[in-house]
Amino acid sequence: MTSDTLSPAQTTHAPPARQMTWTRFRAWVLEVPALQVLVVLALAAWLLTTMPAMANPRSITSILVITSLLALAAMGQTLVVILGGLDLAAPGYILFGAFMAANVAGKLALPAVVALLITALVCGGIGALIGWICHRFAVQPLIVTLGTGAAITGATLFFADGDYSSAPPVELRSLASLRGATFGLPFPPIILIVLLCGAGMWIFLNRTAAGRRFRATGINFRAAGLTRIRTSAVWTAVFAASGALAGVAGVFIASFGSGWSQTIGEPYLFSGLAAVLVGGTIFGSIRGSYTRTLLGALILTLLSTIIVSNGLTEAQSRIVFGIIILAVVSLYGRERHVRDRF
């Protein structure tokens, strides 16, 4: 039967049927990170096909460690993005953490635990102040975090006084070293640390009243306020967590590289945000999760490895990352915001 002989009913119902199929498929992709898992598998297959030498324990461990560091640096950003904001102070936090690891714990021989605690308190305190200011005065976090990040960077460089030769102590380096072991098993502790953080984040977001209040604030903070949720406290706590986590990530990043530089945090602003978005967490998203960020970090690490193996430059790799982000946002960002459905 040709298209000219189709009945009116068939002509009318064919397009809606195709549209319904696409709607169901898109809803499934939005609901579960199946697309990200497929991309990970495809990139892993591509990497092993083009570089068979990567199929060894040391190379796999290296990929997992780099993924863990990126995921840890993006952990706080995940919370901020779910809340509907953006934290551009992350490079400053990471730089301060690296400074504490190398010049304080390493050079001044301060205990590593104390250096970690000071990093978390200082960066978390600055983040808490940012969150309170943004909520209290209705200022865009983009502006406040950008200025604060520059101030943290300048202050850290002032305290460093041009000394970038120091290295973190052995106990910190062992946590992110490729030769490290965890309870006798041949993988670095940083991998387990990030997995435990991911489990804690999942429990917080999905199994606690605080997590439900946090999601409600991200969906619509005005409606959340009407339900007697202290949205100012939520904003303060989320930005505090973002600062503390980024600072601690800086400690581990410096430990992995056995040193630091004044630009150590800059790559993690773009790649950290990319990991969040590629994972499928969009601003104010009800489906945002740290599991998606972990998958996004693994995707970017595998892709970076493939790019480096093919001789692409940093500029070319950023172009590839940008195209991927645009593609992901075009898929996830077109979903109607929850607050617009009622």
Q: What is the pLDDT of residue 11?
A: 47
232 assigned to some structural domain? yes
Burial of 200 (0-12, 13-18, 19+ CB in 10 A): exposed
Q: What is the pLDDT of residue 1?
A: 46
The pTM assigned to this predicted structure is 0.88
Number of structural domains in the chain: 1
82 assigned to some structural domain? yes
160 assigned to some structural domain? yes
- pLDDT (tens digit, 0 to 9) for every residue of the chain, 342 residues total? 454 555 554 544 445 777 777 667 666 666 778 888 988 999 999 999 988 888 899 999 999 999 999 999 999 999 999 999 999 999 999 999 999 999 999 989 899 999 999 999 999 999 999 999 999 999 999 999 999 999 999 999 999 998 898 999 999 999 999 988 898 888 999 999 999 999 999 999 999 999 999 999 998 888 888 899 999 999 999 999 999 999 999 999 999 998 899 999 999 998 999 999 899 888 876 778 999 999 999 999 999 898 888 777 767 777 877 787 777 777 666 554 444 444
Q: What is the pLDDT of residue 234?
A: 96
Backbone angles phi, psi at 285, to 5 degrees: -75, 135
Let me know: does 68 contact 225? Beta carbons within 8 Å.
Answer: no
11 assigned to some structural domain? no
202 assigned to some structural domain? yes
341 assigned to some structural domain? no
141 assigned to some structural domain? yes
17 assigned to some structural domain? no
Provide the domain limits for residue 114.
43-330
- Domain CATH number, residue 200: 1.10.3470
